[in-house]
């Protein structure tokens, strides 16, 4: 019997790999524009880290962690999210002492949660996210939301809904928890076994319950907004005012509490419904955390961050046909040696052209020319380099444009130069039209600096 992949995991290959790379590259590039730098924490952490930070009352810690004892009998966990690991990394490496604050980091990689697999829900999936640690002004919250919003816009996701709420400061949350406990105590006999536990561990978690009958009860529960201290209210209003001034649309959702225990003050989620009507849940989420760094042994500094679910973003972009067509790898050249005696020349040409920065594959089988063309088409090659025995005798090859079917005979000695000319001609796209003083044709990505001159 053949072995299949683990339930809830998925293989990414061929065109989907191009889609993942495209999404991750846009996210990385824009995060770098916002002055975040890359961090690569390990996948394995001590289980205690997540218990202490994500919280014992969260579903992630209670039910979803991939935890095991290693050969040294240490309890280890495959990270179910990045934020706790980043906090540990900052504290362990004393970055709050060594670096200018705030520390701004982005990350990308797999995370693991033992959830029930369904549309947009996996047991191994990828997150891209950022954390900004060590700045107490709520403007940091807005900066991070603005980064996430810019990324989604750049990917073409125009109709994103940003749901936002505040969990207030510690005093607000303590008062709210007391009110929730009193309210749910009256209904708990009719609620699910999980909620019975949540009432003891953290009644805020009941607000996240997905059981429909419990959700009906939750609808009448006290609202966080009624328990905020004046300082927490003011802070939240400041965040909303800043978002407004930046033209970032939002919806205040006072039922939004998030499923991880480390949050305080601002929390938010990004939602997007594809035009096919598929609902993948939140495509990203995040929030502010006042005590996380302290909880893992560091100084008392706050942080804020978000994580996107990369699979969910790839799915909505695919559903709405938003991937640019040129992201799919195509070959620049397919080299076609005709007969065994042409192979040595073919290998040498293929390698030389590769060294010039073009992608080149070569037919390794001694097959007919027609079948080589079929292979080139399947590989989406732009040009064929045909090397026949007659041509070798004359030190020539045939260069064929597989789109226009135009072909020309080129001296082997000048092939690389011809190729460069060909690509420069095709790729130089200048928008300066007749005014342009460079050698290119027309288009819009020329490096001739006409723009700079015009602007000055
Ligand atoms: P989270 O809401 O648990 O937050 O996850 C962030 C995103 O990961 C979700 O919005 C969703 O897009 C994606 N996601 C979650 N579970 C799955 C799943 N089973 N399959 C596919 N995608 C999933 C966090 O992880 C926080 N660390 C975010 C954060 C960063 N808060 C502050 N900084």
Q: Whose CA is nearest to atom 14 of ligand 1?
A: 309
Query: In angstroms, what is the span from residue 95 Cα to ligand 1's centroid?
Result: 25
Q: Quick check: 106 pLDDT over 90?
A: yes
Which residue carries 């970032």 as its tokens?
A: 248
| Pocket of ligand 1 from Cβ distances under 6 Å | 81-83, 113, 115, 120-122, 125, 127, 129, 131, 260, 282-287, 305-307, 309, 311-312
Q: What is the pLDDT of residues 159-200, one digit of tens each?
A: 899 999 999 999 999 999 999 999 999 999 999 999 999 999
- What pLDDT score was predicted for residue 447? 41
Ligand 1 atom closest to Cα of residue 283: 12
Q: Which of 6, 45, 77, 81 to mutate to test the pocket of ligand 1 (most atoms within 8 A of CB)?
A: 81
- What pLDDT score was predicted for residue 449? 40
Distance between CA 313 and CA 46 in Å, rounded?
30
Confidence of residue 24 (pLDDT cuts 50, 70, 90): very high
Q: What is the pLDDT of residues 377-392, one digit of tens each?
A: 999 999 999 999 888 8
- What pLDDT score was predicted for residue 426? 53
Please tell me which residue, 436 or 99, carries the higher pLDDT value.
99
Q: Which of 218-222, 365-369, 446-450 has the lowest mean pLDDT?
A: 446-450
- What pLDDT score was predicted for residue 159? 86
Distance between CA 382 and CA 399 in Å, rounded?
11
Please tell me which residue, 319 or 445, carries the higher pLDDT value.
319
Q: What is the pLDDT of residues 189-241, one digit of tens each?
A: 999 999 999 999 999 999 989 899 999 999 999 999 999 999 999 999 999 99
- What pLDDT score was predicted for residue 275? 86
Please, what is the average pLDDT of the chain? 92
- What pLDDT score was predicted for residue 330? 83
Q: What is the pLDDT of residues 48-76, one digit of tens each?
A: 999 999 999 899 999 999 999 999 999 99
The token pair at 439 is: 């050698």
Q: Quick check: 441 pLDDT over 70?
A: no
**CA triplet 25, 28, 33: central angle to 5 degrees?**
125
- What pLDDT score was predicted for residue 442? 41
Pair 221, 184: CB distance under 8 Å: yes
Q: Quick check: 456 pLDDT over 50?
A: no
- What pLDDT score was predicted for residue 64? 97
Q: Quick check: 434 pLDDT over 90?
A: no
Beta bridge partner(s), residue 411: 396
Q: Which of 156-170, 195-209, 340-354, 419-433 has the lowest mean pLDDT?
A: 419-433
Please tell me which residue, 124 or 389, carries the higher pLDDT value.
124
Q: Quick check: 431 pLDDT over 60?
A: no
Share of the chain above pLDDT 90, in %: 85
Q: Whose CA is nearest to atom 1 of ligand 1?
A: 285
Ligand 1 atom closest to Cα of residue 60: 3
Query: In angstroms, what is the span from residue 286 Cα to ligand 1's centroid?
Result: 8
Q: What is the pLDDT of residues 253-268, one digit of tens each?
A: 988 999 999 999 999 9
Tell me which residue of 146, 138, 144, 140 sits closest to 166, measured CA to CA.
Answer: 138
Distance between CA 37 and CA 365 in Å, rounded?
46
Query: In angstroms, what is the span from residue 174 Cα to ligand 1's centroid?
Result: 25
Confidence of residue 423 (pLDDT cuts 50, 70, 90): confident
Confidence of residue 417 (pLDDT cuts 50, 70, 90): very high
Ligand 1 atom closest to Cα of residue 123: 19
Q: Which of 285, 287, 289 to mutate to test the pocket of ligand 1 (most atoms within 8 A of CB)?
A: 285
Query: In angstroms, what is the span from residue 169 Cα to ligand 1's centroid?
Result: 23
Q: What is the pLDDT of residues 270-320, one digit of tens each?
A: 999 888 888 888 999 999 999 999 999 999 999 999 999 999 999 999 999
- What pLDDT score was predicted for residue 370? 96
Confidence of residue 438 (pLDDT cuts 50, 70, 90): low
Query: In angstroms, what is the span from residue 189 Cα to ligand 1's centroid?
Result: 31
Q: Which of 119, 155, 261, 309 to mutate to test the pocket of ligand 1 (most atoms within 8 A of CB)?
A: 309
């Amino acid at each position: 019997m053949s072995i299949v992949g683990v339930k809830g995991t998925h293989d990414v290959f061929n065109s989907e790999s191009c889609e993942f790379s495209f999404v991750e590259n846009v996210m990385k590039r824009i995060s770098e524009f916002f002055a975040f730098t890359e961090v690569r924490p390990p996948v394995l952490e001590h289980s205690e880290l997540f218990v202490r930070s994500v919280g014992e009352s969260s579903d992630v810690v209670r039910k979803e962690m991939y935890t095991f004892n290693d050969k040294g009998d240490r309890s280890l966990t495959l990270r179910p999210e990045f934020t706790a690991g980043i906090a540990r990394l900052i504290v362990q490496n004393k970055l709050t002492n060594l670096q200018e604050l705030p520390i701004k980091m982005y990350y990308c990689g797999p995370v693991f949660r033992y959830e029930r697999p369904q549309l947009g829900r996996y047991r191994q999936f990828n997150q891209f996210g950022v954390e900004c640690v060590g700045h107490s002004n709520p403007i940091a919250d807005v900066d991070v939301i603005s980064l996430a919003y810019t990324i989604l816009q750049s990917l073409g996701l125009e109709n994103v809904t940003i749901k936002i709420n505040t969990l207030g400061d510690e005093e607000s949350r303590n008062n709210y928890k007391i009110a929730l406990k009193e309210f749910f105590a009256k209904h708990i006999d009719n609620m699910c076994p999980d909620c019975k536990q949540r009432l003891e561990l953290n009644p805020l978690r009941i607000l996240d319950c997905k059981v429909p009958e419990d959700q009906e009860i939750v609808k009448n529960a006290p609202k966080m907004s009624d328990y905020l201290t004046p300082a927490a209210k003011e802070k939240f209003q400041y965040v909303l005012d800043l978002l407004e001034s930046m033209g970032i649309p939002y919806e205040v959702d006072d039922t939004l509490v998030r499923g991880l225990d480390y949050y305080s003050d601002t929390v938010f989620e990004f939602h997007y419904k594809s035009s096919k009507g598929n609902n993948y849940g939140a495509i990203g989420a995040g929030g502010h955390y006042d005590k996380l760094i302290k909880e893992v042994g560091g100084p008392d500094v706050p942080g804020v961050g978000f994580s996107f679910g990369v699979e969910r973003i790839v799915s909505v972009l695919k559903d709405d046909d938003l991937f640019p067509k040129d992201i799919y790898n195509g070959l620049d050249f397919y080299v076609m040696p005709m007969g065994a005696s042409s192979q040595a020349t073919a290998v040498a040409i293929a390698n030389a052209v590769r060294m010039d920065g073009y992608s080149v594959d070569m037919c390794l089988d001694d097959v007919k020319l027609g079948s080589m063309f079929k292979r080139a088409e399947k590989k989406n090659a732009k040009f064929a380099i045909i090397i026949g025995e007659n041509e070798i005798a004359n030190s020539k090859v045939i260069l064929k444009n597989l789109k226009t079917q135009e072909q020309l005979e080129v001296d082997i000695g000048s092939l690389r130069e011809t190729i460069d000319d060909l690509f420069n001609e095709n790729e130089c796209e200048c928008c300066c039209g007749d005014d342009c003083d460079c050698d290119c044709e027309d288009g819009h990505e020329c490096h001739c600096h006409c723009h700079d001159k015009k602007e000055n």
